[in-house]
Amino acid sequence: MPIDFKALEEKWRREWEKARIFESDPIPDRRKCFVTVPYPYMDGPLHVGHGFTSTRVDIYARFRRMQGYNTLFPWAWHWTGEPIVGAALRLKRGDESMIRALKLIDGVSEEELEKLTDPAYMARYYTEDSKEVLKRLGLSIDWRREFHTTYLEPTYSRFIAWQYETLRSKGFVTKGTHPVVWCPHDESPTGDHDRLEGEGVSPEEYTLIKFRIANAFAPAATFRPETIYGITNMFVNPDAPYVEAFVDGERWIVSQKAAMKLKEQLRKVEVLREFKGSELVGKTFEEPIGGRSLPILPGWFVDPESATGLVYSVPSHAPVDWVAIRDLLEKPEKLQVFGISPEVVRSIKPISLIKVEGYGEHPAIEIVERMGIKDQLDARLEEATNEIYRKEFHTGILKPICGKYAGRLVSEVKAELIQEFKDAGIADSMYDLPRRVVCRCTTPCIVKILEDQWFLKYSDQDWKALAHKAVDLAAIYPESARSYFHQTIDWLRDWPCARRTGLGTPLPWSDDWIVETLSDSTIYMAFYTIRKHIVAYGLNEKQLTNEVFDYIFLEKGNLEEISRKSGLEASLLKEMRNEFLYWYPVDLRNSAKELIRNHLTFFIFHHVALFEQRHWPRGIGLNGYLMIEGAKMSKSKGNFVTLKKAVNSYGADATRLTLALGAQGMDDPDWRTSTAQEVRSRLEAFYNFVMELSSLEVKASNGHLEAWILARLQERIKQVTEELEALRTRSAAEIAFYEVWNDLRWYLRRVKAPDAATLKEFLGVWIRLLAPFIPFICEELWHRLGNRDFVSNAPWPLYDAKKVDEKALETERFLKDLLEDTQRVLQATGLKPRLVSYYTAAAWKYKAYRELLRLVGDGITDMGAIIRKLREDPYLAERSRLLPSFVNKALEEAKKLPKDRMRKLLELGFLNELEILKDASAFLADELHSTVIVYDEDDGKKYDPKNRASSARPGRPAIYVE
RNA sequence: GCGGAGGUAGCCAAGCCUGGUCCAAGGCGCGGGGCUCAGAACCCCGUGGCGUAGGCCUUCGUGGGUUCAAAUCCCACCCUCCGCACCA
């Protein structure tokens, strides 16, 4: 019978809302559980990836709630940042692909489309849309605490202002300068996601070696300043524009482009005159180490867009330099234009300065020849350069010509050398992009050094130490993620925490800056605790002074005074303080693993900076990144599944269970339509199955099969509980759903008439085990089973060791094994059995086996020794002749037995196999479609034409099939 | 380049930390059977190879090693994936 999941889910959603069962208030003396997920950014609809993370947390929350924890799961919305503004803007401009995506994927209607050009409207639109979906998904959220970020929610902005003023007063916010990739058109930093070209490119610092030409400096740019010891000449692009300019008071010669760039790097630049590169060619300059006078040669490979547009030449170690010189040697006519004598070039001798394994004197020349490089514009030069650079950097040793640096590794001395050159005034530096970067707005980017930039001082060693400590104190799920946090803490540098554009909260002391999006989302879990009061009492931002927050979160200040100044009742302040104290710390914050490197670690940093240790995070969970049909989810690729669509197509429970079964730990789950469909039909089957069973009214004996199924159930309770406590939601769902089902299947197969009372108990437990995963169906079934309260609030099943009937478990295990053995025989022989005879082992074999197990347990595994030992027993000695063949097989088996099972066997004693088989013979006959007879090996009247009975062993009766 | 994670049967995916119960859970798919007027659902059996008796042989990226015993521990190699920041 098909089930109307939609109506069922709708019904229970309303019931839960009506009964307000997920609205959590402090209950003194009751243990609490506070779980959160990062609030989603509202530039689009929620997708199944959001569903994955939040379902995991909801499963955990529901589990804890049933365990009796007063559980709080709040939710909020992130509006801070640039993308919402950007999206609204693109829409306004009529971006076609954007409009298509909005209509097709997000399901936006025509009349809404126009309104979405307002960023605030867009954020609100998606927020409303998403909230509805989350409710339909069955998340057990306390919606009274909902909020969104930015100045559009002044009380939140006030909270952020308090946070930043406090951080600043503690010295965690500092002002500094910093190079960024900059779009001159947008006048803002261009992050990776805002680029048309140049993903992953970041500013690199070039060293400038200052060469003297007459009364000016020609700063040539390099990443390898150590090669100065092998300089032979300089290259200038004769066709490119250069300038002479005052740079910070010095007369410099650089490319025209470089002069512009330097201006953006806090240099005072005053251009004196412009000229073509050819003007420099043929002149000489003085190198600063040996004071030699060297020539300037034409180099068409020199890119005036890169750094200073001046390159010094080290033909021994730089393939391009060598090839450029070779070009000039081969085509001296090119020199004549500039009036340079070919003799000048011919007299250039490469100077070797780095010794590197696998190469001789002049690595650059060798590689150029080996690769057969044509000329200075050959594309493979880049490859050659990389190869030489890498080799020389990691393994190269500087030669005696390098003076005080001789004998050391290049990689070792580089930083030191740069510093000393700078100190000596022969070097300087500038930033540039190693590759072209183009902004979304199509403008090529440059490097700009931002002044007055505000930073969170994550480089602070004391702060890092506290963060490390917080990670050590927290539970991390899975444990393997812990080291990621430590690494991230070490790796983190100062973080620019304010931007000029986008939505957000202004910096309280400088309102032309907005607190950046990753920086305004670090401690808002604390805000949840008091958001309830802000809404209920209609508090406004003016009342929420710094003193008020200080009191609530830090218990600072005098209550009466704060009350008087803020106009808030002292009792209310106290209530808020208590609410915070009750819920804090966060017991679990769960997110996708990619947030470790930013958000989650920021979250830790800010907590240790602001709160007492008892309020630091207690648990952090990580999960993988959701894939769609095996591929990364992306709107442009079209494989984007919104949460709404999933819930519409499969229903909330099927969506939840599909997600829960998807993956565990930090593995990436894969959303597949086929899986979701399968899960949905399994759920239908599950529902019908339970309904069918619950209506059975069979009064049956309370035999060992009932003991077995209930014992089995206890094991499952234990497993599911342990898995959930460790946030292993996948295993938990798998056991609760499939394994329990399999147990029940076996019971029903075994038992002729299932016992109604046992089934009732079983179903009651099963439904509760499943309630965190598929709450709607479970709620329905729970009520249909005659319960009047909500399963969402029902007590979680407790493992009861008293119900674990070991004998029953062993008995069924024995039968399953025997059935399996029999089937193997049938398979091997291809027989369709008419008669199956079983022979249980003779009494002496049990005695011998027990003794053997004991000996093996004591570490005696030598066959001869064991037989001798057994013969000491007169009873066994009588069967001396039979012992070897029995011991041979039994020993082999016993050696493989795991220790705890061996112990159990010895403790429990052996089963009465003959009796068990006699009881089960009808069942076995049924299963095997055959007559089944059972004998004791010692039975004198047994039917045993092929003398199989002698191979019977304890636990493994002999089998004869015909 | 630097740092990290991982490679398990047709597919997805457990196990690996703490070696033996591992030819290796569970699910999907596939084959066979049952139920049924038929189908779907459901139930049972099978799904590396060989085998007329519960067994044997070969398998857990590749190649070595440790061990009585290795998917599990050690070493080397091959391959895949992720992060490397001003941004949600």
- In 3D space, the residue among A812, A818, A843, A810 whose CA is nearest the CA of residue A932 turns out to be A818
- For strand B, which nucleotides have at least one atom less than 7 Å from a protein CB? 1-6, 12-14, 20-21, 25-29, 41-46, 51-55, 82-88
User: In the structure, how far is the CA atom of residue A714 from the C1' atom of nucleotide B55, in angstroms?
Assistant: 36
Give the residue from A312, A285, A336 showing the smallest Cα distance to A224.
A312
Asked if residue A717 lies in contact with residue A765, where contact means CB atoms within 8 angstroms, the answer is yes
| Residue reference for tokens 């399999």 | A742
Closest CA to A842 of A731, A744, A936, A720: A936
Quickly give A705 CA vs B60 C1' distance in Å.
37
For nucleotide B86, give the residue with the nearest CA to its C1'. A496
**Nucleotide at minimal C1' distance from the A824 CA:** B54
**Nearest residue (Cα to C1') for B6?**
A667
Which residue has its C-alpha nearest to nucleotide B51's C1'?
A: A828
Nearest DNA or RNA nucleotide to A78 (CA to C1'): B88
Q: Which of A518, A642, A483 is nearest to A108 (CA)?
A: A642
pLDDT value for A78? 95
pLDDT at A62: 96
CB A637, CB A631: distance < 8 Å: yes
Report the alpha-carbon distance of residue A254 to residue A456 in Å, rounded: 36
Q: What's the CA A200/C1' B82 distance, rounded, in angstroms? A: 15
* Positions of chain A with pLDDT under 50: none
Which residue's C-alpha is at the least distance from the C1' of B82? A594
Nucleotide nearest to A80 (CA to C1'): B88
Determine the Cα angle at A683 with ends A681 and A685, to 5°. Answer: 70
Comparing CA positions, the residue from A209, A610, A753 lying closest to residue A430 is A209
* CA–CA gap between residue A826 and residue A819 (Å, rounded): 10
* pLDDT score recorded for residue A522: 95
CA-based end-to-end distance of chain A: 44
The owner of tokens 């890119």 is A303
- Residue A738: nearest nucleotide (C-alpha to C1'): B26
Domains and CATH numbers, chain A: 204-349+413-432 (3.90.740.10), 673-805 (1.10.730.10), 807-961 (no CATH)
The total of other beta-carbon atoms located within 10 Å of residue A638's CB is: 10
Neighbours of A18 (CB within 10 A): 8
Q: What is the distance in angstroms measured between the alpha-carbon CA of A321 and the sugar C1' of B67?
A: 59
Using the CA of A85, give the nucleotide whose C1' is nearest.
B88
Structure tokens at A707: 């003991």
- What is the reported pLDDT for A536? 97
Distance A257 CA to B24 C1' (A): 65
Q: How many Cα atoms are found within 13 Å in the side-chain-facing hemisphere of A492?
A: 30
Strands A32-36 and A70-72: parallel
CA of A826 to C1' of B49 (A): 18
Dihedrals phi, psi of A798, to nearest 5 degrees: -100, 135
Q: H helices within A540-629, ranges in order?
A: 546-554, 559-566, 570-583, 601-610
The residues that bridge with A210 in the sheet, in sequence order, are: A219
For residue A41, list its beta bridge partners: A78
- Tell me the whole-structure pTM to 2 decimals: 0.85
Q: How far apart are CA A267 and CA A653, in angstroms?
A: 62
For residue range A388-408, what is the model confidence (pLDDT) as tens digits?
A: 887 788 778 898 998 888 888
Per-residue model confidence as pLDDT tens digits over A849-884:
888 888 877 777 777 888 888 888 888 888 888 888
Å: A676 CA to B10 C1': 21
Calpha distance A727→A737 (Å, rounded): 16
pLDDT in the model for residue A552:
97
Straight-line distance from CA A929 to C1' B39, in Å?
A: 27
Question: How far apart (Å, rounded) are the C-alpha atoms in residues A177 and A450?
Answer: 5
The residues, any chain, with a CB within 8 Å of residue A260's CB and separated by 6 or more, are: A446
A943-CA/B22-C1' distance, Å: 37
The strand pairing partners of A623, in sequence order, are: A592
A193-CA/B83-C1' distance, Å:
16
Token pair, residue A86, equals 């950007």
Q: How far apart, in whole angstroms, are the C-alpha atoms of residue A197 and residue A443?
A: 10
Token pair for A329? 């040697």
Residue with nearest Cα to nucleotide B20 C1': A896
A165-208 pLDDT, tens digit each: 999 999 999 988 888 888 888 777 887 777 777 777 788 888 99
Give the span between the Cα atoms of A402 and A385, in whole angstroms: 21
